C-alpha cells in the first residue's frame, strides 16, 4: 500500500484534474435529464432556448468525459511503468535470500498480474466517478421534485447495501483464494517451459505433470474465480432487483399515496430509466475494486520489509565506499541456517573460520549437501551471516557496506544466468569479448555486436564458458567458480585448471574454486574441506 500511496501522491494533480472532469461529465449528464424533463413541460416558444442549453451541456459533458478518460489512461500507464520499476528496484536491492524465499513464480506474478490489476483501476475510475456523479446528480434533482421520495430512496439503498455487503465478503474471499492459487499456476507454467525436454523424455512424468499437477492448479484458479464472480453476479442481480422494486413502489404505490402530480411522476420515470445504466455500471465496478485490493495485498506481501532505494547522493556515497581491493578476507565464526526441503529439516553451516589472501588459489571440496555453495554465497556477500562477522582487511562488513563489498567478486555459480547483453562492462567491449570468445572456442557459436550476444541457447558446458567470459570482462579482484568444470570435456578441464587458474593468480587475482576434480588439487595453494557444515584444512596433493 505504501508504493500505491507514493504513486497517488506523485500523480495527485493529474488525478484531481481527471476526477474533476469525470464528476463534471456525470453532473452534466444528470443536468441533461433535468433539461429533457423541462423540455417536456415548457411552452413551444421556449423550446429553442432549452434546446441550446441542452446542446451546450451535452457538449461540455462529452468534452469533460474525453478529457477524463484521456487523463486516466495516461495515469494508468504511468502507474504501470512506475510500479514495475519501483518493485523491480526493490527486488534488486533486496537481500538475495528474500528473492529465494519468495520464489520466482510469486515475484513474476506480482510484476505481471498484480501490477497490471492496480493500473487497470485507473482505467475503471473515469466511468466509476462519472456514473457516481450521475447518480448523485439525479438524486439531487429527485429531491427537488420530492424530498419524501429521496428519503425513501435512501432507506432502500441501505437495505440493498446490507445484502450486497454480505455477498461481497464471500466473493472477496474466493477471489483472494484464486489469486493465491495463481502463484502456483505461474510456477507450473514456468516448469512447462523450462522442463520441456524432461517432460518429453518421460511419459509417466508428463502425464502426472499435466494431471493432477497442472490441471489441479488450473482447476483451483477456475473454481475460486468462478465462485467469486458468480456471487458478485448474484449480488448485482440483488442490487438491480432492489432498484426496480424501488421504481415500482414509487411510481405505483408511493406516488398515489402522496397524490403526486402526473408531471412529477413522468419526471420520476425519466430519472429512474436514466439511472438504470449508471447503477448497473457502479455495481459491476465493485469486483474490479476488490481485485485491486487483493493485488495491493500481494504487492505488500512481496515487498514487505524491503527498504526503499536510496537517492542518487546516497547511492554515490555507497559507491565511494566500495573497496578497490584487499589483502585479506576473513570469515570469523560465521554461521548460517537454512531448511533442507529434501530432508525436511534445518541445517546449520558453521561456525566457520576461513581466510582468503590476495593472489592465492583455494579449492573448496566436500560432499553433496555439505554447504559449499552456501559458504560461497556467504563469502561473496549474497548472504549476510546470522552469526559471526565477515572482515575485509580487519574491518567488519556491515549491511551498509555489503553491496560495495560484493563488487570485489566475479562469480560463476552452477546455476548461473546469462543476460543477452554484456551490461555494465566498460569500453572497447566488443573487441575484448571477441578475443575471449576465440580463447574459449565459442566464436563459432556466439558473436557479439554493440554488446549484444547473438545467442545464449548453448549446451551446459558452453554456457559455463560464456559465463566465464563475462567474469573475465568484469576483471575483479576475486573469482569464485562453483563446479565450473563439471560440465566441461577433459580438454577444457585441463585448460581451466592448468592454464586459466594460474594465469589469474599471476595477475594477482584471488580464486575460490568449488570442485570435486581431485586430479587437479595440486594446482591450489591450499584445499579446505567442508563436512556436515564444518570446515577443516586439507593438504594439497603433491604436484
The label of the residue with cell 572456442 reads 441
Mean pLDDT of 248-263: 71
> Above 70 in pLDDT, residue 339?
no
Q: Which CATH architecture has domain 2-303?
A: Up-down Bundle (1.20)
Mean pLDDT of 172-190: 83
Bond into 212 cis (ω within 30) = yes
Domain spans, the chain: 2-303, 320-538
The label of the residue with cell 500511496 reads 5
* 12-26, 301-315, 417-431, 461-475, range with the lowest pLDDT: 301-315
pLDDT tier at 542, thresholds 50, 70, 90: very low
pLDDT tier at 229, thresholds 50, 70, 90: confident
Please classify residue 479 by burial: count the beta carbons closer than 10 Å to its beta carbon, then call 0-12 exposed, 13-18 middle and 19+ buried.
buried
Instruction: Check residue 255 and give its pLDDT.
Output: 66
Can you name the CATH fold of 320-538?
Answer: Rossmann fold (3.40.50)
pLDDT tier at 343, thresholds 50, 70, 90: low
pLDDT tier at 272, thresholds 50, 70, 90: confident
pTM comes to 0.69
* 146-160, 217-231, 431-445, range with the lowest pLDDT: 146-160
Mean pLDDT of 56-60: 89
pLDDT tier at 312, thresholds 50, 70, 90: very low
Neighbours of 512 (CB within 10 A): 25
Bond into 353 cis (ω within 30) = no
Do 247 and 272 form a contact (C-beta atoms < 8 A)? Answer: yes
Do 298 and 179 form a contact (C-beta atoms < 8 A)? Answer: yes
Mean pLDDT of 507-513: 94
Instruction: Check residue 260 and give its pLDDT.
Output: 66
Amino acid at each position: 500500500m505504501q508504493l500505491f500511496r507514493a504513486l497517488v501522491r506523485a500523480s495527485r494533480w493529474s488525478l484531481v484534474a481527471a476526477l474533476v472532469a469525470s464528476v463534471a461529465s456525470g453532473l452534466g449528464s444528470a443536468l441533461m435529464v433535468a433539461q429533457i424533463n423541462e423540455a417536456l413541460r415548457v411552452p413551444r416558444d421556449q423550446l429553442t432556448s432549452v434546446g441550446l442549453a441542452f446542446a451546450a451541456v451535452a457538449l461540455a459533458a462529452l468534452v469533460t468525459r474525453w478529457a477524463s478518460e484521456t487523463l486516466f489512461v495516461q495515469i494508468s500507464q504511468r502507474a504501470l511503468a512506475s510500479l514495475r520499476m519501483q518493485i523491480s528496484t526493490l527486488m534488486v536491492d533486496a537481500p538475495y535470500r528474500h528473492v529465494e524465499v519468495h520464489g520466482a513464480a510469486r515475484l513474476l506474478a506480482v510484476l505481471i498480474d498484480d501490477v497490471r490489476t492496480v493500473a487497470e483501476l485507473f482505467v475503471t475510475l473515469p466511468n466509476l466517478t462519472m456514473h457516481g456523479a450521475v447518480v448523485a446528480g439525479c438524486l439531487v434533482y429527485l429531491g427537488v421534485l420530492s424530498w419524501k421520495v429521496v428519503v425513501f430512496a435512501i432507506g432502500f439503498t441501505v437495505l440493498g447495501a446490507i445484502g450486497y455487503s454480505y455477498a461481497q465478503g464471500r466473493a472477496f474471499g474466493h477471489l483472494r483464494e484464486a489469486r493465491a492459487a495463481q502463484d502456483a499456476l505461474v510456477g507450473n507454467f514456468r516448469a512447462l517451459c523450462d522442463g520441456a525436454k524432461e517432460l518429453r523424455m518421460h511419459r509417466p512424468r508428463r502425464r502426472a505433470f499435466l494431471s493432477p499437477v497442472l490441471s489441479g492448479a488450473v482447476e483451483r484458479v477456475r473454481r475460486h474465480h468462478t465462485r467469486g464472480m458468480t456471487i458478485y453476479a448474484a449480488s448485482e442481480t440483488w442490487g438491480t432487483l432492489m432498484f426496480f422494486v424501488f421504481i415500482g413502489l414509487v411510481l405505483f404505490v408511493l406516488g398515489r399515496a402522496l397524490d403526486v402530480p402526473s408531471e412529477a411522476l413522468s419526471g420520476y420515470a425519466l430519472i429512474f430509466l436514466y439511472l438504470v445504466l449508471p447503477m448497473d455500471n457502479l455495481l459491476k465496478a465493485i469486483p474490479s475494486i476488490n481485485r485491486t485490493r487483493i493485488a495491493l495485498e500481494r504487492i505488500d506481501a512481496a515487498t514487505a520489509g524491503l527498504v526503499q532505494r536510496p537517492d542518487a547522493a546516497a547511492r554515490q556515497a555507497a559507491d565511494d565506499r566500495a573497496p578497490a581491493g584487499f589483502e585479506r578476507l576473513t570469515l570469523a565464526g560465521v554461521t548460517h541456517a537454512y531448511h533442507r526441503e529434501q530432508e525436511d529439516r534445518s541445517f546449520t553451516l558453521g561456525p566457520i573460520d576461513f581466510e582468503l589472501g590476495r593472489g592465492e588459489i583455494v579449492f573448496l571440496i566436500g560432499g553433496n549437501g555439505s554447504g559449499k555453495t552456501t559458504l560461497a554465497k556467504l563469502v561473496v556477500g549474497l548472504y549476510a551471516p546470522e552469526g559471526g562477522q565477515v572482515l575485509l582487511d580487519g574491518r567488519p562488513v556491515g549491511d551498509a557496506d555489503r553491496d560495495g563489498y560484493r563488487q570485489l567478486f566475479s562469480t560463476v555459480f552452477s546455476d548461473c544466468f546469462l543476460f543477452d547483453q554484456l551490461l555494465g562492462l566498460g569500453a572497447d567491449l566488443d573487441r575484448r569479448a571477441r578475443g575471449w570468445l576465440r580463447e574459449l572456442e565459442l566464436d563459432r557459436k556466439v558473436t557479439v555486436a554493440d554488446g549484444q550476444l547473438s545467442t545464449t541457447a548453448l549446451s551446459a558446458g558452453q554456457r559455463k564458458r560464456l559465463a566465464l567470459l563475462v567474469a573475465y570482462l568484469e576483471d575483479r579482484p576475486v573469482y569464485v567458480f562453483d563446479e565450473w568444470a563439471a560440465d566441461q570435456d577433459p580438454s577444457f578441464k585441463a585448460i581451466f585448471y592448468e592454464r586459466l587458474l594460474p594465469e589469474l593468480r599471476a595477475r594477482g587475482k584471488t580464486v575460490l574454486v568449488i570442485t570435486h576434480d581431485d586430479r587437479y588439487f595440486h594446482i591450489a595453494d591450499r584445499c579446505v574441506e567442508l563436512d556436515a557444515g564444518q570446515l577443516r584444512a586439507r593438504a594439497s596433493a603433491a604436484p
